[in-house]
Structure 1
Amino acid sequence: MSQSGIASDVAAASLQFAPDLLVPVFPGPAALLDGQGQILLANDAARPLLDALGQGLLPALAAAIDTALDQGGARQERADVPGPRGGAAVQVTLLPVGGAASRQDRRLLLLGRDATLERNLIQALMQSRQLFKDLVTCSTDFAWETKADGRLGFVSPRGALGFTARELEGRPARELMAADSPETPAPSLLPFEAQQPLDDVEIFLVRKDGSVGCFEVSCLPVRDAAGAWGGARGVARDVTDARARVDALRRAHKQLNTLANTDGLTGLLNRRAFLEELDKRLVRHRRNRLRGTLIYFDLDNFKKVNDVHGHQAGDEVLKGVAVAVRKTLRVVDLASRIGGDEFLVWLEETGRESAESIAARLHEAARELDREYGAPGFPLGFSIGIVFSCLAAAEGAEGLIARADEAMYTAKKGGKGRSFIAPLPDDEAVK
């Protein structure tokens, strides 16, 4: 009910009941004052209000009483009465009664209504709005809202991306997006035009200085009472630095993983990593009835390279072997330097013909290395042992390597610079 409506109702009641009869039965604070503002009559509910008034704690109400007695008109004023838990709020109506022309003869009826709940609700709303404003203002994020035409209708007061809020308001939000690229991919659903709620969508925006930043955006669509889409609103959090740190950690982890799994000189897999991966391959091959080939080879007369040309030349030879192996193998194959001048190669799903072809290429690579680093009378070459994985028996990586090592020494005993292919049982003959 409006204040004027309350005053009218109270006025009507005062005409039907004498003030001295109304005050004791009134459901809220009620009192009758004389022309000097002195209390003639009051109910118990009015005592806290009148005590605060007498102590000078309600100057606005005191001024309203003085004006009502002077001018004779009805007045309304809210009084906040001190007390526990924030005290009480009272909506006070002041009604002159008796029709006296002078203040000395005038009487004033004071009637109150508890308005504490209304006051608390309004304060809570104001505090909530202020809390939201403070959080948005002091955070590194920015809040925004777009209209149905895709233009920004609101941006946090502090602005964003190096722009002031005024510079951004009215600007098409799409203009802030970085060009779509592998480094700055655009999301499939643009938050500024969201038709549904979106959480933590990663987008790349262009700052005023031209730099590109990465932001995580959460948003909601804005719809009218009829359900028609009218834009979107949300918050954006600058995660550029955090993303850079994560990328750096990923690169560092990748580097550490590489160091842990590869030979430091050649970049091929080390023995441990090769064994782990080979065991996995063997399990899969047996399950799918597939065969693979393991090649074990070492360098003949490698010690002479170190003796004649020095250890640096020896390192260059080992690196050259790694280069030759990479050129020879497919992506699915594996290669490892397992120590010194010994190497392992795993060929996925291969037979005798492929194994012989690879061995021939390795021998050719060895001849090229010999021309550059070989010692007179001691040709640089490879002794190569070749074995095929078993299908009938469960054989692990260590067992397969042991057979390949034996095949390699068989080749070396045959005169070095040779290959030897170990046979399988008749029922597992390799074509």
Structure 2
Amino acid sequence: MAEKVDLEPAEEAKSAALLKSKDDAEILLAGYPGAALLITRDCSVERANAKGEGLEALIVHGAIPEIRDLVNKSEGVHTVTATTVTLPSAKGEIILDLTVVPVESGRFLVLARDQTMEKNLRSALVESRQRYKDLVEISSDFCWETSVDGEFQFVSPKGAIGYTADELVNAKAETFIVNPENFTPLPFASRRPLDEVEIWFSHKNGSQACMMLSCVPLYSEAGGTESWCGTRGVCRDVTIERENETALTRARNREQILSYIVSMIRDELEPENMLSAAATASTRALEVAGCRIYRLAGLESFGTAAEYGNTADTGDLNDNLDDLGSNGEVKQFRTGNWTYFVVATHYRNVINGAIGIWISEVSDTRADDLKILLGDIANQLGIANEQIANHERIVALSRTDGMTGLLNRRAFFEEELPRRLSRLARSRETAALFYVDMDNFKKVNDVHGHQAGDDAILFLRDLLMDFSRPGDVIARLGGDEFAMWLDGISPEVTQNRAGALITASQAMAQYSGDPAYPLGISVGVAVYDPKDEESFDGMLARADEAMYAVKKAGKGGFMMAPAPKAD
């Protein structure tokens, strides 16, 4: 849109005189910093300075019709007129501010000012400001500016840490920081640039948020002196990253603890020591008050296999084992002074034991870690319990008689008796060895078959068990030959026990193969007295000789072996 400015008669006369005073208007035009031309009413160019030559060509070719409109308006109302035109070029649009000044009748001064760069810079600045404004508004980062008092003067439109922008503005920054006393000065009032400073904030919902803060100080100039007037910065929320890092660290820590406990278990060569090592390692590695490991005895009840630590007043743990599931879920409960964690161990989805730990105080985070670790340990112990059970089955098969379940000859003579004789050497108590051999047993098998023979053997087994105590030992030495060891028994009681045994054995006659040859037993008894310092083989020989003496005397009786001869 063209603008017009009225000229006073004196100004018009002055302009006309200036042009008339020179034959050539070139000096006047050359003094203008932009394009300047002197044209006539019909837009013919009379004179042009160096910068106006390009514009002259455009005018000649009618490429700027706006100039003719300006000339007509200027002549008609005798005023200065102006407008802005946009011209195409090979490098883009050119923007010119055109001004037409009437200088004398029929002649006009055209002044052009190139506004292309200024407009482009202005547009770039507006675009840049809008870009940064949009980025701040859509960014998840928390942008802010504080005053010298540490109060928020500007915050991102979205607000931060659960608060709206209105709630944060004019509020002191330190009121939202966890332990602001740890910072001197507070980063929100920093007078020097800071980069990636970690700060924990109190979220509106009561939780905590971790942010990385970067800032620069703001200064104002007054009277030639710069003074600090606040701080401007941005906070990036890294709470999720910190939580992930913490979770990863906890997982690595749990992995190291589990590796240590498993290695302690595997380092034990003896299966019966595995669980003791596991209880000790678990207590120490988990940093708890104590640990107890159970095995499921006969698929009926849990029995303590190993424990370590402070076991006082922990009976409540034993009372909370019945409802454990095989899904690996850790049970947590508190009674008395302890918080307990207990989980079942299993092998192939079958419960074979349990592990429990207890601790006086525990946080929620630590409780979660303990549950995860205890579940992992239980998986290992489930395998260990199965290995121990398999080992016990193998040992039992190697030590016991398959039919009767009694100790076999090797276990009785090579393991059990030497251990008991060693114990008697310390206690100085007496004991008795019964050598028992069945009479006329072959007749039973020949007449009634082997099943009847097996029934007769089992009957004798039960008879011997009735005449023994829980601490005594009975063995089947092979075929129809048995042995019974009675600990801590006097010679008199031994003789009475032998007589009663013979009397009770008369019931075996029901299995006889021939009434003329009744089934019975012959017993040789050797009393062992540590003070005699009798050898192991010597005692066996005495009992064996006494038993065969009974056989020779007609069977169905017992004989007390003579005391050992002094060397």
Partner amino acid, structure 1, of 2:508: L
- Per-residue deviation, residues 231-274 of structure 1 (Å, max 9, x unmatched): 99623233665555454444433333322221111111112222
Query: Who is 2:444 aligned against?
Result: 305
Q: CA deviation at 1:128?
A: 3.6
Query: Who is 1:271 aligned against?
Result: 409
Give the conservation status (yes or no) of the 8 Å contact 1:335–1:344.
yes
Name the CA distance, whole Å, in 2 between partners of 1:297 and 1:324.
12
Query: Who is 1:291 aligned against?
Result: 430
| TM-score (structure 1 length as normaliser) | 0.53
SS of corresponding position for 1:266:
coil
Residue 220 and residue 368 in structure 1: after superposition, are their counterparts in 2 closer, same or farther (change >3 A)?
A: closer
Residue in structure 2 matching 1:202, options 331, 342, 351: 342
- Per-residue deviation, residues 344-392 of structure 1 (Å, max 9, x unmatched): 1111122333223322333234321222333232111111111111333
Name the CA distance, whole Å, in 1 between partners of 2:457 and 2:507.
13
Query: Who is 1:84 aligned against?
Result: none
- Per-residue deviation, residues 117-149 of structure 1 (Å, max 9, x unmatched): x98xx85x7644223356889999xxxxxxxxx
Residue in structure 1 matching 2:520, options 375, 381, 392: 381
Query: Who is 1:174 aligned against?
Result: none
Map 1:231-250 onto structure 2 (within 5 A).
234-235=367-368, 236-237=371-372, 238=375, 244-250=382-388
Partner amino acid, structure 2, of 1:264: G
Residue 194 and residue 139 in structure 1: after superposition, are their counterparts in 2 closer, same or farther (change >3 A)?
A: farther
Q: CA deviation at 1:336?
A: 0.7
- 1:335 equivalent in alignment to 2:474: yes
Query: Who is 1:92 aligned against?
Result: 216
Name the CA distance, whole Å, in 2 between partners of 1:243 and 1:214.
8
Give the conservation status (yes or no) of the 8 Å contact 1:192–1:233.
no
Residue 180 and residue 139 in structure 1: after superposition, are their counterparts in 2 closer, same or farther (change >3 A)?
A: farther
Residue 130 and residue 195 in structure 1: after superposition, are their counterparts in 2 closer, same or farther (change >3 A)?
A: farther
CA RMSD after TM alignment? 5.2
Name the CA distance, whole Å, in 2 between partners of 1:194 and 1:330.
40
Partner amino acid, structure 1, of 2:367: G
Query: Who is 2:399 aligned against?
Result: 261
Name the CA distance, whole Å, in 2 between partners of 1:139 and 1:344.
57
- Per-residue deviation, residues 135-166 of structure 1 (Å, max 9, x unmatched): 889999xxxxxxxxxxxxxxxxxxxxxxxxxx
SS of corresponding position for 2:402:
coil
Give the conservation status (yes or no) of the 8 Å contact 1:92–1:112.
no
Residue 396 and residue 181 in structure 1: after superposition, are their counterparts in 2 closer, same or farther (change >3 A)?
A: farther
Name the CA distance, whole Å, in 2 between partners of 1:354 and 1:285.
18
Q: CA deviation at 1:409?
A: 0.7
- Per-residue deviation, residues 152-188 of structure 1 (Å, max 9, x unmatched): xxxxxxxxxxxxxxxxxxxxxxxxx999356469xxx
Give the conservation status (yes or no) of the 8 Å contact 1:79–1:91.
yes
Name the CA distance, whole Å, in 2 between partners of 1:215 and 1:132.
27
Q: CA deviation at 1:111?
A: 12
Partner amino acid, structure 2, of 1:335: I
Residue 179 and residue 341 in structure 1: after superposition, are their counterparts in 2 closer, same or farther (change >3 A)?
A: closer
Structure ranking higher in strand proportion: 2
- Per-residue deviation, residues 205-249 of structure 1 (Å, max 9, x unmatched): xxxxxx9x96756767379xxxxxxx9962323366555545444
Residue in structure 1 matching 2:246, options 132, 141, 148: 132
Name the CA distance, whole Å, in 2 between partners of 1:60 and 1:219.
55
Query: Who is 2:534 aligned against?
Result: 395
Name the CA distance, whole Å, in 2 between partners of 1:179 and 1:291.
39
Q: CA deviation at 1:397?
A: 3.4
SS of corresponding position for 1:415:
coil
Name the CA distance, whole Å, in 2 between partners of 1:243 and 1:184.
19
Query: Who is 2:511 aligned against?
Result: 372
| TM-score (structure 2 length as normaliser) | 0.41
Name the CA distance, whole Å, in 2 between partners of 1:191 and 1:260.
42
Residue in structure 1 matching 2:488, options 335, 341, 349: 349
Partner amino acid, structure 1, of 2:451: Q
SS of corresponding position for 1:267:
coil
Unaligned runs of 5+ in 1: 1-35, 38-55, 65-72, 82-87, 100-108, 141-176, 205-210, 224-230
Name the CA distance, whole Å, in 1 between partners of 2:545 and 2:405.
26
Query: Who is 1:319 aligned against?
Result: 458
Name the CA distance, whole Å, in 2 between partners of 1:214 and 1:351.
44
- Per-residue deviation, residues 5-47 of structure 1 (Å, max 9, x unmatched): xxxxxxxxxxxxxxxxxxxxxxxxxxxxxxx79xxxxxxxxxx
Q: CA deviation at 1:403?
A: 1.5
Q: CA deviation at 1:404?
A: 0.7
Partner amino acid, structure 2, of 1:263: D
Q: Which has the larger radius of gyration?
A: 2
SS of corresponding position for 2:523:
strand
Give the conservation status (yes or no) of the 8 Å contact 1:279–1:396.
no
Count of residue correspondences: 292
Identity over aligned pairs, percent: 31
Name the CA distance, whole Å, in 1 between partners of 2:336 and 2:472.
48
Partner amino acid, structure 1, of 2:515: P
Give the conservation status (yes or no) of the 8 Å contact 2:437–2:523.
yes
Unaligned runs of 5+ in 2: 1-120, 123-127, 137-146, 148-152, 157-192, 197-211, 255-315, 325-330, 345-350
Query: Who is 2:41 aligned against?
Result: none
Name the CA distance, whole Å, in 2 between partners of 1:280 and 1:396.
14
Q: CA deviation at 1:197?
A: 9.0
Query: Who is 2:500 aligned against?
Result: 361
Query: Who is 2:11 aligned against?
Result: none
Residue 376 and residue 219 in structure 1: after superposition, are their counterparts in 2 closer, same or farther (change >3 A)?
A: closer
Residue 321 and residue 233 in structure 1: after superposition, are their counterparts in 2 closer, same or farther (change >3 A)?
A: same
Deviates more, 1:418-427 or 1:336-345: 418-427
Query: Who is 1:420 aligned against?
Result: 559
- 1:221 equivalent in alignment to 2:353: no
Give the conservation status (yes or no) of the 8 Å contact 1:268–1:337.
yes
Give the conservation status (yes or no) of the 8 Å contact 1:270–1:336.
yes
Residue 311 and residue 94 in structure 1: after superposition, are their counterparts in 2 closer, same or farther (change >3 A)?
A: same
